[in-house]
Amino acid sequence: MVSKPHGGKLVRRLVAERTRERILSEQKEYPSVKIDHGRAIDLENIAHGVYSPLKGFLTSDDFQSVLDHMRLSDDTPWTIPIVLDVMEKTFDEGDAVLLYYEDIPIARMHVEEIYTYDKREFAQKVFKTTDPNHPGVAKVYSMGEYLVGGEIELLNEVPNPFAKYTLRPVETRILFKERGWKTIVAFQTRNVPHLGHEYVQKAALTFVDGLFINPVLGKKKKGDYRDEVIIKAYEVLFEHYYPKNAATLATVRYEMRYAGPREAIHHAIMRKNFGATHFIVGRDHAGVGDYYGPYEAWDMFDNFPDLGITPMFIREAFYCRKCGGMVNAKICPHPEEFHVRISGTKLRKMIMAGEQPPEYMMRPEVYEVIRSFEKPFVE
């Protein structure tokens, strides 16, 4: 059977239509709080159960427990603080407030607690560094002085140009059931696929019923592939190289934290909520720069025997000239000189220079898709 939702029950925080209309008709009566895109996406993920068992933003007990123990205060594994920050207190504990993203009332929140926190402690414990050059740390340092905890109810979806590809946990669970998949391996990505990715995914699929490719769409850095390029590249890969009834593609919106090992656990929890039973943990998963060891995320899973989703640790794939195919360090006996590592950065440079990568690095169909976009990269 597909995974049980994290914490036991799939959270759904969507208000009934009549209640929604009533709240919206009374919106001027609520204190309003503006939130950024990342928090709006968090809200959506809470409401649709991607972050089950969270029903809202963390209160101080849970926040501190996540920092100190990587668990919610009820002992459920949870590694990334999902918090709402505000610059000043314009409402009180006990109030219901409306959260707005770009003038759209996204959710109602029942404010249980407003509390202060130590940003350096947050950074050190979650990111293992207080270096402001780390993008996750920089984000924490830019946050407001207070955190607001409490349950939420979703009123409106955040505008989504990729709604067609965005499935919610309730949908993927039914999809997997309809396809007869009992074991599903999820793959997290924020890149166009190269042969190394394909090797890892197919190696994992060998052991389960279905492969769930779940690209993260959202805020990107300059030079990253644009979201539509990633989707189209996977579509063409599916069309030509994946078994029709054993793989599916759906996106999730989520703001990367770059918290390495801690975030690898968070990514696994999200996929467990989608129904996946297995999760591929890559090399330097959710890392950035040199802040984490290449396989540090693998070790982190030892701390969570009760995670409820099985990590699959598949080594980085490379092309071996002697083997004549994609292999990994465990199965290839040949020395380094025969190995061609497939680097995303190198591929990007080749593509930017108009050079087609060799077929052992990138499928020609994928390259054609990228080329078909006038501007495939974020500027």
Partner 1 sequence: MADEKKYTTVSIPKPLYDKIKKRIEGTGFTSVSDYVTYVLREVLASLEEEEKEEVFTEEEEEKVKERLRALGYLD
Contacts with partner 1 by CB under 8 A: the residue count is 31
Sole window of 5-13, 152-160, 202-210, 320-328 interacting with partner 1 (rule: CB under 8 A): 5-13
- Choose which of 305, 333, 335, 354 interacts with partner 1 (CB under 8 A): 305
Q: Which of 15, 37, 60, 162 binds partner 1 (CB under 8 A)?
A: 60
Query: Is 307 or 317 the residue whose CB approaches partner 1 more closely?
Result: 307
User: Which 104-123 positions form the footprint of partner 1 (CB under 8 A)?
Assistant: 115
> CA–CA separation, 134 vs 290, rounded Å?
10
Among positions 22, 120, 164, 321, the unique one binding partner 1 when judged by CB under 8 A = 164
Question: Is residue 333 close enough to count as binding partner 1 by CB under 8 A?
Answer: no
Task: For residue 9, state whether it binds partner 1 (rule: CB under 8 A).
Answer: yes
List 306, 336, 337, 374, residue binding partner 1 (CB under 8 A): 306
State the minimum distance, in angstroms, from the CB of residue 298 to partner 1: 14
Place of tokens 């092309």: 319
SS (H, E, C) the chain: CCCCCCCCCCCCCECCHHHHHHHHHCHHHCCEEECCHHHHHHHHHHHCCCCCCCCEECCHHHHHHHHHHCECCCCCECCCCCCEEECCCCCCCCCEEEEEECCEEEEEEECCEEEECCHHHHHHHHHCCCCCCCHHHHHHHCCCCEEEEEEEEECCCCCCCCHHHECCHHHHHHHHHHHCCCCEEEEEECCCCCHHHHHHHHHHHCCCCEEEEEEEECCCCCCCECHHHHHHHHHHHHHHHCCCCCEEECEEECCCCCCHHHHHHHHHHHHHHHCCCEEEECCCCCCCCCCCCCCHHHHHHHHCCCCCCEEEECCCEEEECCCCEEEECCCCCCCHHHEEECCHHHHHHHHHCCCCCCCCCCCHHHHHHHHHCCCCECC
Q: Choose one: 1-9, 125-133, 183-191, 256-264; the region binding partner 1 (CB under 8 A).
A: 1-9
Measured from the CB atom, the residue of 297 and 347 that comes closer to partner 1 is: 297
Least distance (Å) between residue 30 CB and partner 1: 27
Question: Is residue 2 a contact point for partner 1 (CB under 8 A)?
Answer: yes
If binding is defined by CB under 8 A, does position 248 make contact with partner 1?
yes
Binding mask 165-184 for partner 1 (x = CB under 8 A): --x--xx-xxx--x------
**Dist. CA 185–CA 160, nearest whole Å:** 26
Distance CA 10, CA 46 (A): 10
308 binds partner 1 (CB under 8 A): yes
The answer to whether residue 65 forms part of the interface with partner 1 (CB under 8 A) is yes
**Minimum gap (Å) between residue 3 Cβ and partner 1:** 9
Is 61 an interacting residue with respect to partner 1 (CB under 8 A)? yes
Would you name the residues annotated as active-site residues? Answer: 190-191
Nearest to 98 by CA among 41, 46, 20, 12: 20
In the block, residue with structure tokens 């979650």: 126
Q: Which of 32, 64, 124, 160 binds partner 1 (CB under 8 A)?
A: 64
Among 20, 69, 110, 339, binds partner 1 (CB under 8 A): 69
User: Smaller CB distance to partner 1: residue 1 or 329?
Assistant: 1
Interface residue with partner 1, options 4, 219, 220, 346 (CB under 8 A): 4
328 binds partner 1 (CB under 8 A): no
- Angle, helices 260-274 vs 169-179, to 10°: value is 60
Shortest reach from residue 96's CB to partner 1, in Å: 24
Which residues here bind partner 1, judged by CB under 8 A?
1-2, 4-5, 8-10, 60-61, 64-65, 68-69, 73, 75, 115, 164, 167, 170-171, 173-175, 178, 248, 250, 302, 305-308
